[in-house]
Amino acid sequence: MPWILVAVLAVVALVLGVLLLVGGGGSGDSEQQGFATPEEAIEFSTEKIADGDAAAALTAWAGDAQAENLDLVGTLERFRALTPADTSSVPSDDEFFVDLAKSTRAGTAADQYRRMAFSLLLPEVRYDTTTRLDGDDLTAQDVADGLDSERLSSLTAQQVDLVVGPEQYDETLAQAAALVGADERREYVVLYEWDGDTYLGGVGVLRYGDDWQIDTLAASLANTPNGALEPTTADEYDDVVEGFPGS
């Protein structure tokens, strides 16, 4: 099916960080950590976002390991192109470029949490386009008032489910993991609850040895947007899980 092909091709772009959405670098001051299970990494990062601790949430990510282990030749051969906007495809044996890549990947992760926050706090705003502030629908003051991180305090990950796909999908996950030196990659869909409502999100994770870490807030086969959460019901979420080609 064509949509499955598109999804599996998107996996490699997601895991390599070729999201083309980084507006600036991030901080690499907080040491990144691994978790015994993907679920623990997802739940920890969600709890930290609810606590208003973005720096702690970013420690659950695999950006440093990806920067240090990227197979640059394999990556370029996979895409058969080098795009200047792809700021993550740099040599992993050059300390200068590795440091830049770590900052770039931290910025990518931070941007995805920004998208998550916007999708919840300012649902009138589309994260992938420009919203005009005119008339009575949305004012500059509305934006300033809405972007209050304390409002995220009730955010929880209620349910985490593995995305099960066809054989081609599994092969693509394995190839994508190998390009950043990881032992395994998986994707999950997550049923979030916030302010009495439920939302759908996706998370991609990588395993380095015994440690699981996050590499993106998206699940390609479930077609979830990068970072942003989408309103859903428990029944609709179950339909998503049951509708995976490998289920």
CB 87 within 8 A of CB 22: yes
Task: Give the pLDDT confidence score for residue 212 in this predicted structure.
Answer: 98
pLDDT at 69 > cutoff 80: yes
3-class DSSP assignment, residue 120: helix
Q: Of 41-45, 57-61, 83-87, which range is least confident?
A: 83-87
Q: Of 77-86, 120-129, 141-150, 188-197, which range is least confident?
A: 77-86
Please spell the DSSP secondary structure of 63-84, one letter per residue: HHHHHHH--HHHHHHHHTS--T
Name the E strands within the chain: 156-162, 184-194, 197-208, 211-216, 230-232
Instruction: Tell me the average pLDDT of the chain.
Output: 88
Distance between CA atoms of residues 50 and 44, nearest Å:
10
Task: Give the pLDDT confidence score for residue 13 in this predicted structure.
Answer: 54
pTM for the structure as a whole: 0.86
192, HSE (Cβ side, Cα atoms, 13 Å): 31
pLDDT at 124 > cutoff 60: yes
pLDDT at 133 > cutoff 90: no
Banded pLDDT at 126 (limits 50, 70, 90): confident
What is the rounded average pLDDT of the residues 3-18?
Answer: 50
Distance between CA atoms of residues 247 and 230, nearest Å:
22
Task: Give the pLDDT confidence score for residue 19 in this predicted structure.
Answer: 40
Banded pLDDT at 232 (limits 50, 70, 90): very high
pLDDT at 29 > cutoff 80: no
Q: 127 or 37, which is more confident?
A: 37
Q: Residue 203 corresponds to which tokens in the numbers above?
A: 């998370």
Distance between CA atoms of residues 57 and 91, nearest Å:
27
Task: Give the pLDDT confidence score for residue 10 in this predicted structure.
Answer: 54
pLDDT at 1 > cutoff 80: no
Task: Give the pLDDT confidence score for residue 30 in this predicted structure.
Answer: 59
Tens of pLDDT along 153-163? 999 999 999 99
pLDDT at 11 > cutoff 50: yes
Banded pLDDT at 25 (limits 50, 70, 90): very low
Tens of pLDDT along 217-228? 999 999 999 999
Banded pLDDT at 14 (limits 50, 70, 90): low
Q: Residue 64 corresponds to which tokens in the numbers above?
A: 């440093």
What backbone phi and psi angles, to 5 degrees, belong to 236? -65, -40
Q: Helical H runs in 51-139?
A: 54-58, 63-69, 72-79, 95-121
